[in-house]
Amino acid sequence: MPDPQARYEEIADDLASRHDDVELGKMMGMPCVKYAGKLKAGYWPATGAMTFKLVDPADRDEALALPGAEIFDPSGRRPMRQWVAVPAEHAKEWPRLAERALAS
């Protein structure tokens, strides 16, 4: 399995090269992908997971069906209902989920 952060960076760079409104930066202490100024995805170093804002419940349910995926809760006290953290073992799914996050 490739290094999860390196894989995130490849995906983020690809998104930025293909979408005019994608910006890369940091938010909530994590590297992130913004689309039209809104946070859409990120890399959570504490767990090596990529996180996605999936507004469509069907997209969210599909991501949550992956073993180990869970609602993102960076503080451990307040889950972010529309966000899913997908572990590195499913890194092959990250590009598709990133595109869905941009579309939502």
pLDDT tens for residues 3-33? 999 999 999 999 999 999 999 999 878 999 9
| pLDDT one-digit tens code per residue, 70-93 | 999 988 899 999 999 999 999 999
Cα separations in angstroms, 61 against 7, 16, 20, 77, 100: 23, 26, 28, 21, 13
Pinpoint the alpha helices (H) of 1-104. Answer: 4-18, 57-64, 94-103
Tell the residue number behind the tokens 């889950």, with chain if given.
79
Taking only the tens place, the pLDDT of each residue in 25-36 is 998 789 999 999
* CA 90/CA 36 separation, integer angstroms: 27
Domain containing 56 equals 4-103
**How many domains would you assign to the chain?**
1
Output the pLDDT for position 28: 78
Flag whether pLDDT at 1 surpasses 70. no
